[in-house]
Amino acid sequence: MFSAISGLKQHQVMLDVTANDISNVNTVGYKSARVTFQDSLNQLQRGAAGANTATGGSNAAQVGMGVKLGSIDNLMSTGTSQPTGNPLDVSIQGEGFFQIGEGNPNGAANAPINATSYTRAGNFSVSTEGYLTNSAGQYVVGYQIDQGTGNPIATGVAIKIPDDAANVAIDTNGGVSYIQNGQRVTGYRLTIANFANATGLERSGGNSWTPSANSGQKTVSTPGVDGASMVAPGTLEMSNVDLSQTFTNMITAQRGFQANSRVISTADEMLQDLVNLKR
């Protein structure tokens, strides 16, 4: 009975994860998850015996004591890019994450912004103060470009669009350009963060991820440089949820829950027969 109860609990977890995937089927940049189980403790009925001159040996006899949660894996495969026509929408064509952070970029010139979270959702916009932000109002972190040399002059800063600029656009190498004084100027560039174990990142809500003890240190690169992923302007990465597989998982979770509930019902009937022996 208690083994079946553990089965009920873990299949409920599987159903919860599946339901979350289905609810986020149209969430920009969402990554689906997968549940795996492990067998729990085993009760040893008889130990194994080695071969001797009279017998060939015997295997151990063990009775399992239920199931436990093995893992909830993040599936980081790239979702389909959907054209939007918005010049500030951008998707990553491969691995990596946009850097998002909070701070006070108005406190000093080129004040650094600490990238506290990472996202695949590139639905950006320009705030009333002229900064490139995500849908939650957090600053998009990149670096500023020297107009004379084209080299970075300030890294890890919020991307600021000048007040007199117009026609903001993002190119495939992450360059943020705009029309200023009659000329198109690339003033900033997006950066891409990669992790040694991206599946080890933790979900923090709002289409963002935060590093964990098992994600590894991040490496920051420029899109399209030294093998880094390029970006596709005017598109958004959609959820990578496979509905056919997800509905199959939902059916599997339902039947697993149902089968374990039948074990509890059978065990209850056996206990009832045992109590009725006195009659």
- Provide the pLDDT for residue 42: 83
The Cα–Cα gap between 225 and 235 comes to 20
36 closest CA partner among 77, 88, 4, 75 = 75
Q: Where do the domains of the chain lie?
A: 2-47+57-76+241-278, 82-237
- Provide the pLDDT for residue 107: 58
Q: Which residues of the chain have pLDDT under 70?
A: 107-111, 279
- Provide the pLDDT for residue 14: 96
- Provide the pLDDT for residue 108: 56
- Provide the pLDDT for residue 36: 95
The Cα–Cα gap between 41 and 66 comes to 7
- Provide the pLDDT for residue 40: 86
- Provide the pLDDT for residue 92: 96
- Provide the pLDDT for residue 109: 55
